[in-house]
Amino acid sequence: MSEAHNSSVITAESTFQNISSFDADVQARLNILADHGEKGYILRAPGRVNLLGEHVDYSGFGVMPMAVASDVCVKVSYPSSGLVIDNVESRFDTKTYDNLTSSELEVDLANHHWSHYVLCGYKAAFDAMEKKSFAPPALKPLRLTVYGNVPAGSGLSSSSALVVASTLAVCSAYDFEITRTELAVAAIEGERHVGTLSGGMDQSASILSQTGSALYIQFVPSLTASRVTLPAGVTFVICNCLKKKEKAVDASQYYNKRVVECRLAALLLAKRYNLPLEGVKTLRNVVDALVSSPADMLPTMVELADISKQESAKTEASTLADVAALLGCAEGDILSTFFSDRATACADVFADSANFSLWKRAQHVFEESARVMGVAETMPDAPDFGKVMNASHESCRDLFECSCDELNKLVGICMDSGALGSRLTGAGWGGCNVSCVKEGEVDAFIANVKQKYYVEFMGMTEVPDNAICVSNGSCGASRVVI
Ligand code: NG1
Ligand code: MG
């Protein structure tokens, strides 16, 4: 079933979703957008929560996310000229580009602006058209009006939802037939125009999710997603620690640095196993070079995790010079030899970083990915899924160091409130956690978290409505018929 869904043409009328199929509050937002400004048609892309598999997608390993109800919607209407990007919420100022040629429209990395994600989608759509030799007869002036309620920097992928909705909007405007999987591939590459070395989880979850289930998404050898039935009798509760983390703002210190650390670790492991270093970009490349059959994959990952653990006990942090010496190359050649595909972003990481904790990151990636593989095979009967979530959070906190005090406090309170498991979700360093809670205990759980975290720990008198949400898997992106 997932395969048919994934290869359905998302811009075909048969896949449009009627507004009546959405929850009341989603319908309310869709109607506000429909009534705002010019007449037009609406594309919707949901945010996502990741249940397991954190900071492993850009290393080539599988993840287990699901779409949530919050979303970003884009309305297409036709102005007299240019590309106009505006927002129902006046706090987001309007941006107008006179030129319509996507290759001319560059994302100004020096001046981060909310509309850049829409521009990423615009460019992604034209890249997808070119890849399928679809040459639109003429370029059309477009107005893309945005209205979303995925809180920015909340770890629920507001950025990817906006890129997906924008990519889908431009494909629709040109009546370009694109499948869900092709759209995901386009949006994944498109979002990288904003300067982050993103993986592919968020865009894939936003497009390929189906109501009532999670997805097991894999990226190697190509993007595939299969439906995962959730464990019976539990609900997933997502709480925002309210510390914002907008990835594109200082990625070179956080997200992009982790991507670089994982690639450096892959190169050191390749060297250790006398593998050719050319083409080694991910830790997955190393695993694939060492295994001869799929059955060897898990044991090899366990072995590589142990080696990484041993090495991290010996080497707390490595400088670029240390890595160069181990690779047998000049420090000044590392960027051009091994990072030419991501040169700008990686140069910023090298400029901003004195040292790298390679082995702890590698150990996390291998162990986290092994956890996902173990659960994916046994869902929905995954025994102790809560315990696996807890192990994931501890690894994110201690090995990958992408948690923060607020998230750790929130996870502790969620566990004290009866959660079977609780972990940060998304890039971390802020944003949300996700807890696995027994169905009959959700109300008491939420009441306790509100009191212990938001009121007592955060000192709030009013808990924002969108601070906590419940999810058991929502539908993926679509064009909406109002
Ligand atoms: P967030 O920042 O939560 O949207 C990011 C990446 C994912 C993945 C997670 C960590 C982007 C667009 N998304 O998600 O690819 O690497 O961090 O698992 O960069
Ligand atoms: Mg994001």
pLDDT of residue 245: 74
- Which region among 194-208, 241-255, 377-391 has the lowest average model confidence (pLDDT)? 241-255
CB 427 near ligand 1, within 6 Å: yes
d(CA 115, CA 94): 8
What are the tens digits of pLDDT across the range 266-293? 999 999 999 999 999 999 999 999 999 9
For 193, the token pair is 């125009």
Is the C-beta atom of 199 inside 6 A of ligand 1?
yes
**Torsion sign over Cα 28, 34, 35, 36:** positive
Structure confidence at residue 380 (pLDDT): 87
According to the model, what pLDDT value does residue 104 have? 85
Ligand 1 in reach of 256 Cβ (< 6 A) = no
ipTM of the complex: 0.98
Rg of the Cα atoms in the chain: 22
Q: Distance from the CA of 400 to the center of ligand 1, in angstroms?
A: 14
212, 473 in Cβ contact below 8 A?
yes
Question: Whose Cα sits closest to atom 7 in ligand 1?
Answer: 199
Query: Quick one: which H or E segment has residue 12?
Result: none
Q: Quick check: bond before 464 cis, omega within 30?
A: no
Alpha-carbon distance 247 to 198, whole Å?
10
pLDDT attached to residue 465: 83
CA-156 nearest atom, ligand 1: 3
Closest ligand to 200 CA? 1
Predicted local confidence at residue 4, as pLDDT: 87
Is the pLDDT reported for residue 117 higher than 80? yes
Q: What is the pLDDT of residues 1-48, one digit of tens each?
A: 578 899 999 999 999 999 999 999 999 999 999 999 999 999 999 999
348 belongs to the catalytic site? no
Q: Cα of 449 to ligand 1 centre, how many Å?
A: 25
For the beta sheet containing 421-424, the strands, ordered from the edge strand earlier in sequence to the opposite edge, are 421-424, 432-438, 234-240, 468-471
Ligand 1 probe mutation, 48, 154, 241, 247, most atoms within 8 A of CB: 247
Token pair belonging to 232: 């019976």
Reported confidence tier of residue 226, pLDDT bands at 50, 70, 90: very high
The atom number, within ligand 1, closest to the CA of 431 reads 3
* pLDDT tens column, 368-402: 999 999 999 888 888 799 999 999 999 999 999 99
Kindly report, residue by residue over 297-347, the tens digit of the pLDDT: 999 999 999 999 999 999 889 999 999 999 999 999 999 999 999 999 999
Active-site hit among 35, 202, 296, 333? 202
Residue 190, classed as helix, strand or coil, is: helix
> Which ligand is closest to the CA of 204, given by its number?
1
State how far the Cα of 185 lies from the Cα of 208, in Å rounded to an integer: 11
**Mean pLDDT within 342-355:** 92
d(CA 25, CA 23): 6
Ligand 1 contact via 429 beta carbon (within 6 Å): no
Mutate-to-test residue for ligand 1 from 56, 192, 201, highest number of ligand atoms within 8 A of CB? 201
Average pLDDT for residues 141-161, to the nearest whole number? Answer: 90
pLDDT level of residue 154 (50, 70, 90 thresholds):
confident
* Residue (of 107, 85, 72) closest to 207 by Cα position: 72
Percentage of the chain lying above the pLDDT 90 cut: 89
Atom of ligand 1 nearest to the CA of 198: 19
Dist. CA 452–CA 351, nearest whole Å: 41
**pLDDT tens-digit map of 427-464:** 999 999 999 999 999 999 999 999 999 999 999 999 98
What local confidence, expressed as pLDDT, does residue 381 receive? 87
Indicate the DSSP class of residue 231. P
Q: Cα 41 vs. chain centroid, distance in angstroms?
A: 26
Ligand 2 centroid – CA 378 distance (Å): 29
pLDDT at 246 over 80: no
201 Cα nearest atom in ligand 1? 15
Distance (Å, rounded) from C-alpha 375 to C-alpha 421?
A: 14
The ligand placed nearest to the CA atom of residue 425 is: 1
- Residue pair 471/69 in contact by the 8 Å Cβ criterion: yes
Q: How far apart are CA 199 and CA 183, in angstroms?
A: 15
**CA-to-CA distance for 357 and 211, rounded, in angstroms?**
39
pLDDT of residue 1: 59
Average pLDDT of the chain?
95
Cβ atoms < 10 Å from Cβ of 295: 9
Give the separation between CA 415 and CA 407, rounded to whole angstroms.
Answer: 12
Q: Are residues 349 and 256 in contact, defined by beta-carbon separation less than 8 angstroms? A: yes
Residue 137 pLDDT exceeds 90:
no
